[in-house]
C-alpha cells in the first residue's frame, strides 16, 4: 500500500464517525452502510455494472415512474422493489427479477393484473396493490395460488372491489396467506364482511391490520356456510343529538301594532346529505326503534338545502350561495323543534344502500350538515264583507236592544271574538344559520363509528330597533307649545320634573323587562353546535355499540 493512501481500517472509521464528511445521512438503510463499506474493502465489486449484482433492495418513491422496463433485470439479486406513489398503470412481469420477494405498488394507477400475472416472480411473498384502480370481479381470477404460490401478505386496500363471495373463493387457494388488507373497498362496507372472511380463511392471522384472535374466530364460526347472509348492501345509521347556541328569537320579535299581530313562530331543524338509497320506516327495524322511533324524513326546497362548501356559513341567504349538488346526494331533514337553550332532537335513521361504489364515493367526500331556521308569520282571518255590511246596518238596532238582550249580545260578541282569533299562516321563511362539512373517511378504514360536534361558530344577531324618543313622537304643534313653555322658567321646571318622572318610570319598566339581558352582558356567547353521529352497522353487532343516549358523553369527552 502506498504511504500516501489510508488503510481500509482508517477509512471504515471515517464512514462510521458521525462527524466525518463521508458519514451517511440520518435515515439511511443498513444496505447503504454495507455498500460504502464494500467500496472501501472490495472496490472492484461495485465498479461499473458489478454494483447491480450486489443490490437487494430498490426504493423509488414519488419520482413520476410510469413504466418498468427490462433494465431492472440487471439487478440479479434484487429481493425488494418499492415503487409507491408513482404513475404506473401496467407492469410487465417479464421485466421483474425472478428473485423478487417483495413488490410494493401502492398509490399508482394499476387497473389490470393480467400483464403482472403472465410470468410472476415465483418467490414473491408480499404484493402491495393498495390505492389503485382494481375493479372486480374481472381481477379476482388473478389472485390465486396458480400465480402466487408463496404469497404471505396481500394488500388490496382502497380499490373498487365489490364481489366479496367471488374474491374469497379465489383467495382460499392461497394456503400461505396470513396477512390480508381489504379495507377501503366497497365490499368492506357489507355488514358481514369481516366475519365472513375470518371464517372463510382459517389460516389468516391479520385482517385489515387487526389481529384475529381465538374469540373472534369462535364468534364468527359457521358464517362461511351461510352465503344467504352475504347481501351486497350496507346499513348506515345517522343520529342527531343536542343543538346549542341558537339565539332566543323572542328578543328579536317586534309587534306590527298593538293588536299583537302577526304571531311569529320559529322552529329549527338539522339537515344532512346522504347517498340515495332505501330508508327504514318507523317500526320496520327493531334495532333502530328500540331506543326511539325514527321521525319522518323530508327534503328541503332547493333554496334551503345545505351547501357543499366545507366552511361555516352564518346567516346567509341559501339561494345566494347555492352550488349544484351531485345527483347521488339527497338532503334529509330532522323534524322541526321550537327554540330552547338545548334542543334535543333524539333523531336516528337507518339507511340501506345497495350501490356500494356510490356509498364509498360519498364517504370519501364527506357529508354536509346544516342548521335551518323556519319562521312563520300568522295573521287573523279576515271577516266576510257581507257580514261586515250587515253588522253596520244593525249597529243602531243592536244598541237599543242591549238592555233587553244583554246576555245574548255578550254571547254573540264572544263567538265573534273566538272567530276572529282564527289565524292564517304565510309560507314559511327558511334561513340557513350554519353549514359544516363532516369528514367520514374513517368509516372506509377500520372505524365503524364517527361522532363529531359540529361547531358553526357564534351567530351574530341583529339588535332590535329602538323605540322613537319622546321628541320624535311630538307633532309640530306640540313642539311649538314646548318652545313657548321653555320661555317660562317655572313651566319649564315643571315639564322637566314630569319628564324625569316619566323617564324614571320607563326606566324601571325597561330594567324589569331586560333583566336577563343586563345579567347576561357578562356571559360569554355560546357557539352554535350540533351533535352528529354516523355508524356503519356490522353483523353480529358489537357488544359495545353506542346508543343515542351515550352519544352526548362521547362528544363531550372530545371537547
- Going from N- to C-terminal start, the domains of the chain cover 55-232
pTM value surpassing 0.95:
no
Contact 279, 297 (CB under 8 A): yes
The pLDDT score that the predictor gives to residue 217 is 94
The pLDDT score that the predictor gives to residue 475 is 56
Three-class secondary structure of residue 559 per DSSP: coil
Residues in the chain: 559
CA distance 194 to 102: 26
φ/ψ region of 428 (left if φ > 0, alpha if ψ in -120 to 50, else beta) reads: beta
The pLDDT score that the predictor gives to residue 80 is 95
Neighbours of 117 (CB within 10 A): 17
CATH 1.20.1640.10 at 55-232, yes or no: no
CA distance 466 to 448: 53
CA distance 555 to 52: 57
CA distances from 175 to 37, 81, 145, 146, 411 (A): 41, 24, 8, 11, 93
The pLDDT score that the predictor gives to residue 112 is 95
The pLDDT score that the predictor gives to residue 305 is 35
Cis status of the peptide bond prior to 125, with omega within 30 of 0: no
The pLDDT score that the predictor gives to residue 13 is 78
CA distance 544 to 130: 30
User: Residue 43 carries which DSSP code?
Assistant: G
Burial class (CB in 10 A: 0-12, 13-18, 19+), 167: buried
Which stretches in the chain have pLDDT values below 70?
1-4, 44-50, 252-259, 279-328, 383-421, 461-523, 540-559
The pLDDT score that the predictor gives to residue 477 is 60
Cell representation of residue 163: 364481489
The pLDDT score that the predictor gives to residue 3 is 59
Burial class (CB in 10 A: 0-12, 13-18, 19+), 14: middle
Amino acid at each position: 500500500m502506498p504511504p500516501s493512501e489510508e488503510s481500509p481500517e482508517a477509512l471504515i472509521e471515517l464512514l462510521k464517525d458521525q462527524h466525518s464528511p463521508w458519514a451517511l445521512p440520518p435515515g439511511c438503510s443498513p444496505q447503504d452502510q454495507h455498500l460504502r463499506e464494500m467500496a472501501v474493502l472490495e472496490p472492484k465489486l461495485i465498479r461499473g455494472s458489478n454494483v447491480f449484482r450486489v443490490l437487494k433492495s430498490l426504493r423509488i418513491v414519488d419520482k413520476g415512474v410510469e413504466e418498468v422496463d427490462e433494465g431492472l433485470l440487471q439487478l440479479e439479486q434484487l429481493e425488494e422493489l418499492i415503487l409507491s406513489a408513482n404513475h404506473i398503470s401496467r407492469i410487465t412481469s417479464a421485466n421483474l427479477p425472478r428473485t423478487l420477494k417483495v413488490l410494493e405498488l401502492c398509490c399508482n394507477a394499476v387497473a389490470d393484473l393480467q400483464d403482472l400475472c403472465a410470468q410472476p416472480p415465483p418467490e414473491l411473498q408480499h404484493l402491495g396493490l393498495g390505492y389503485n384502480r382494481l375493479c372486480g370481479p374481472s381481477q379476482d381470477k388473478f389472485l390465486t395460488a396458480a400465480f402466487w404460490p408463496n404469497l404471505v401478505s396481500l394488500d388490496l386496500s382502497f380499490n373498487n372491489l365489490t364481489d366479496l363471495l367471488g374474491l374469497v373463493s379465489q383467495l382460499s387457494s392461497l394456503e400461505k396467506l396470513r396477512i390480508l388488507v381489504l379495507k377501503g373497498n366497497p365490499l368492506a362496507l357489507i355488514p358481514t364482511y369481516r366475519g365472513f372472511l375470518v371464517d372463510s380463511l382459517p389460516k389468516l392471522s391479520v385482517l385489515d391490520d387487526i389481529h384475529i384472535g381465538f374469540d373472534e374466530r369462535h364468534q364468527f364460526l359457521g358464517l362461511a356456510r351461510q352465503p344467504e347472509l352475504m347481501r351486497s348492501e350496507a346499513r348506515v345509521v345517522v343520529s342527531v343529538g343536542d343543538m346549542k347556541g341558537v339565539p332566543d328569537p323572542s328578543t328579536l320579535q317586534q309587534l306590527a301594532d298593538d293588536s299583537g299581530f302577526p304571531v311569529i313562530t320559529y322552529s329549527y331543524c338539522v339537515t344532512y346529505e346522504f347517498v340515495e338509497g332505501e330508508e327504514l320506516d318507523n317500526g320496520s327495524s327493531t334495532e333502530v326503534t328500540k331506543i326511539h322511533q325514527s321521525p319522518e324524513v323530508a327534503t328541503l326546497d332547493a333554496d334551503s338545502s345545505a351547501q357543499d362548501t366545507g366552511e361555516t356559513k352564518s346567516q346567509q341567504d341559501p339561494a345566494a350561495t347555492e352550488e349544484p349538488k351531485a345527483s347521488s346526494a339527497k338532503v334529509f331533514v330532522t323534524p322541526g323543534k321550537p327554540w330552547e337553550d338545548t334542543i334535543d332532537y333524539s333523531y336516528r335513521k337507518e339507511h340501506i344502500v345497495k350501490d356500494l361504489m356510490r356509498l364509498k364515493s360519498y364517504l370519501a367526500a364527506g357529508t354536509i350538515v346544516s342548521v335551518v331556521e323556519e319562521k312563520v308569520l300568522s295573521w287573523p282571518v279576515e271577516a266576510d264583507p257581507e257580514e261586515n255590511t250587515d253588522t253596520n246596518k244593525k249597529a243602531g238596532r243592536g244598541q237599543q236592544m242591549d238592555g233587553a238582550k244583554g246576555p245574548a249580545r255578550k254571547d254573540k260578541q264572544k263567538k265573534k271574538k273566538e272567530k276572529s282569533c282564527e289565524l292564517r299562516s304565510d309560507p314559511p321563511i327558511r334561513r340557513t344559520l350554519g353549514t359544516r362539512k363532516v369528514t367520514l373517511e374513517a368509516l372506509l378504514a377500520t372505524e365503524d363509528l364517527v361522532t363529531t360536534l359540529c361547531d358553526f361558530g357564534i351567530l351574530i344577531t341583529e339588535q332590535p330597533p329602538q323605540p322613537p324618543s319622546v321628541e320624535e313622537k311630538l307633532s309640530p304643534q306640540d313642539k311649538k307649545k314646548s318652545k313657548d313653555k321653555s320661555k317660562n322658567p317655572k313651566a319649564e321646571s315643571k315639564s322637566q320634573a314630569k319628564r324625569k318622572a316619566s323617564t324614571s318610570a320607563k326606566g324601571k319598566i325597561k330594567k324589569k323587562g331586560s333583566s336577563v339581558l343586563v345579567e347576561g352582558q357578562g356571559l360569554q356567547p355560546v357557539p352554535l353546535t350540533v351533535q352528529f353521529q354516523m355508524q356503519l352497522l356490522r353483523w353480529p353487532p358489537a357488544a359495545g355499540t353506542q346508543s343515542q343516549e351515550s352519544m352526548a358523553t362521547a362528544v363531550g369527552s372530545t371537547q
